[in-house]
Structure 1
Amino acid sequence: MADNWPDEGWEVIPTEQGYTALLEALHSAISEADMFVVTEAGPTQAAAQRGIEIPGNRVVGVFRNDFAVRILRQSVPAMIEAPLRFYVTENEDGSATLAWKVPSAVFSPYSEGKDDELARIAAELDALFADIGADTTAP
């Protein structure tokens, strides 16, 4: 795994799971958390269609409408950050890494302070994303 992940505002969990297995576990954990995959994109398959082989790489956008409505009530500009994303990357040894930007870090530029409602919503999402991450990477 490359050691150039940002130091702040990210959760990064290297695993021994393979790329496909980790991606499947992520989808299952998202569903179990009553969240939804809103977007999904990655360059791996498109590169393969062009004859270029690169490690597995997928961004999975996750959100839920009740969070969208609550966030919009606090900050229209903050909705540019939705859906929040998980990032699954394949490592050179065949293992995979799960990473995501921490929701409170993502929404902090739109927050008026630690005690405002947007910060509370982001904290809820922090816990939800941490649970999804833990469920995805559990042995």
Structure 2
Amino acid sequence: MRLLSCFIVMMSLAPGLVTGLARADSIAPREGWQVMPTTLAYDDLVEKLQAAVKAEGMIVVTQASASAGAKGRGLTIPGNRVIGVYRNDYAVRMLEASVAAGIEAPIRFYVSEDSGGTATLSWKTPALVFAPYMDEGGQALAELAAELDAVFMKIAQKAVSSR
């Protein structure tokens, strides 16, 4: 809730940012990211993602939405939601490998509404997120990142499936 409040304040201080978001479309592929355009509507993808997180035994730890904050101010911008996902056993392993890496948890999915009425699911891979800490975290952090890469891919595949 505090994160959403900060986001709302940020959006109220930067009206030009809202205008820029209103013109945004799907996320372009970029190094270290997974980007999955879908045929799903924004609200449907958010719902399916939350169900997929639970089905894979993970937990939605945080959520923030600039579009929800803008709506509260009477503005309409394309839907977007950042959903932080993690689980305590992963957190403990991460911290055992690198205390500094703790700033990166939870790892986030991003659901963004596209101009055609569909939505895109994207995320920075755990391998990319933890890359700056590999010198400190060593093999244990590398193994955790690889494991989480697979978990996040399974979640995403469930979320974007037509079933």
Instruction: Say which SS state the counterpart of residue 108 (structure 2) adopts.
Output: strand
Residue of structure 1 in register with 2:46 after alignment: 23
Shift of 1:3: 6.3
- Could you list the runs of 5+ residues in structure 2 that have no partner in the other structure? 1-23
The partner residue of 1:67 within 87, 90, 98 is 90
1:116 paired to 2:118: no
**More helix by percentage:** 2
Over the aligned positions, Cα root-mean-square deviation in angstroms equals: 1.6
Residue of structure 2 in register with 1:41 after alignment: 64
Answer whether contact 2:38 2:118 (CA < 8 A) is retained.
yes
Distance 2:27 2:52 in 1: 26
Distance 2:99 2:28 in 1: 29
Answer whether contact 2:66 2:80 (CA < 8 A) is retained.
yes
**More strand by percentage:** 1
TM-score with structure 1 length normalisation?
Answer: 0.94
Residue of structure 2 in register with 1:92 after alignment: 115
**Alignment size in residue pairs:** 138
Residue of structure 2 in register with 1:77 after alignment: 100
1:40-65 CA-partner distances (Å, limit 9, x unpaired): 00111211121110010000000000
Amino acid at match of 1:59: V
TM-score with structure 2 length normalisation?
Answer: 0.81
- Identity of paired residues, percent? 49
- Could you list the runs of 5+ residues in structure 1 that have no partner in the other structure? none
Answer whether contact 2:27 2:35 (CA < 8 A) is retained.
no
Shift of 1:5: 2.9
